[in-house]
């Protein structure tokens, strides 16, 4: 029998996200402000839920960063809201951190169509989940996103990923998530019942988004995609972002705007190379070489520039 198949006579208890929230029983009796206040109050639960799993999340970040240093990739798998959040997070890493395509990938049940409209039956396909993860290997990381912790599509992906030797993680809002049997780490976000029963785009989705924000940002920092707290890997694809690179360079190095623009011209618009050129007092070609040698880390490139060459006293 398929591992996702369940005997109808052996029904599992409802996950917390499908239970009724007693604090919102009279939701439709509230005025607009009252509804918004209740939603806001309940959203604070999501923040607290994430705070409880930060030590485990830190371990996931460290494991993923090490995998990516070795050439591995990270994959998110989800359906509905969870799937959209995964695709969103993955898609934002290239413009924000200049992450190469294919390094962090979001997969959603139902494919691209499911990003803009509901494809509800897609989440029931174990086969599609397995197929989405069929290319993974031992150096990769698979992260399943499922509020209930039981989505068949996610289960299929995690099962296939684990069989391939990948590191597997489940992010759910159910401490008793059935899919934990397929994962190495379970990040259980205890957000409880939703204001609107079963609407996991609310607290559950908010908590998952916070986890994804923290996870991917911390991984990018670990991989040297920032300098101090500056977004030095940003891809300047339009006028607004080109102006931002100038401002970042001014902040990082203490240059005036005119000098910063001139330096960026010398480095072909490469912000990291401009920072290394200025702070390590090297020419742009040497700055580019140092960054290449140190996986794009500005900090490591600057440190290397200050060390004496091998063989020198």
| From 42, 123, 159, 194, the catalytic residue | 123
Q: How far apart are CA 267 and CA 283, in angstroms?
A: 9
Residue 125: CB atoms within 10 Å: 18
Residue 123 annotated in active site: yes
Please indicate whether residue 92 is annotated as part of the active site: yes
Element (H, E) at 144: strand 141-146
Q: How far apart are CA 234 and CA 144, in angstroms?
A: 28
By three-state DSSP, how is residue 221 classified? helix
Q: How far apart are CA 206 and CA 195, in angstroms?
A: 13
Long-range contacts, 272-281 (Cβ 8 Å, 24+): 272/227, 272/232, 272/233, 272/296, 272/298, 272/301, 274/249, 275/227, 275/232, 275/249, 276/301, 276/302, 276/305, 278/249, 278/252, 278/253, 279/252, 279/253, 280/305, 280/306, 281/305
- Strand-strand pairing, 104-108 and 167-172: unpaired
Q: Classify residue 184 by its DSSP letter.
A: S
CA–CA distances in Å: residue 36 to residues 40, 41, 151, 294 = 6, 9, 30, 49
18, 56, 66, 92: the active-site residue = 92
8 Å CB contact between 173 and 155: no
Active site residues: 92, 123
């Amino acid at each position: 029998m398929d591992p996702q198949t369940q005997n109808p006579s052996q029904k599992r208890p409802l996950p917390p996200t499908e239970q009724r929230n007693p604090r919102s029983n009279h939701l439709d009796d509230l005025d607009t402000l009252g509804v918004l206040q209740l939603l806001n109050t309940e959203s604070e639960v999501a923040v607290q839920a994430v705070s409880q799993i930060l030590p485990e999340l830190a371990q996931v970040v460290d494991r993923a960063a090490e995998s990516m240093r070795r050439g591995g990739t990270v994959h998110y798998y989800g359906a509905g809201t969870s799937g959209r959040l995964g695709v969103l997070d993955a898609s934002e890493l290239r413009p924000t951190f200049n992450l190469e395509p294919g390094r962090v990938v979001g997969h959603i049940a139902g494919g691209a169509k499911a990003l803009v409209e509901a494809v509800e039956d897609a989440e029931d396909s174990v086969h599609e989940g397995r197929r989405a993860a069929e290319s993974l290997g031992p150096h990769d990381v698979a992260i399943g996103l499922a509020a209930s912790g039981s989505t068949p599509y996610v289960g299929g992906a995690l099962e296939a990923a684990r069989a391939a030797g990948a590191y597997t993680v489940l992010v759910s809002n159910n401490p008793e998530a059935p899919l934990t049997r397929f994962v190495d780490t379970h990040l259980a976000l205890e957000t409880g019942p939703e204001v609107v029963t079963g609407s996991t785009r609310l607290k559950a989705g908010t908590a998952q988004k916070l986890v994804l924000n923290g996870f991917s940002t911390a991984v990018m920092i670990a991989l040297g995609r920032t300098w101090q707290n500056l977004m030095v890997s940003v891809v300047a694809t339009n006028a607004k972002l080109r102006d931002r690179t100038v401002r970042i360079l001014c902040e990082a190095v203490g240059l005036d705007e005119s000098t910063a623009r001139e330096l960026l011209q010398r480095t072909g618009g490469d912000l990291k190379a401009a920072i290394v050129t200025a702070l390590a007092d090297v020419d742009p070609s040497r700055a580019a070489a140092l960054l290449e040698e140190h996986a794009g880390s500005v900090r490591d490139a600057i440190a290397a520039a200050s060390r004496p060459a091998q063989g020198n006293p």
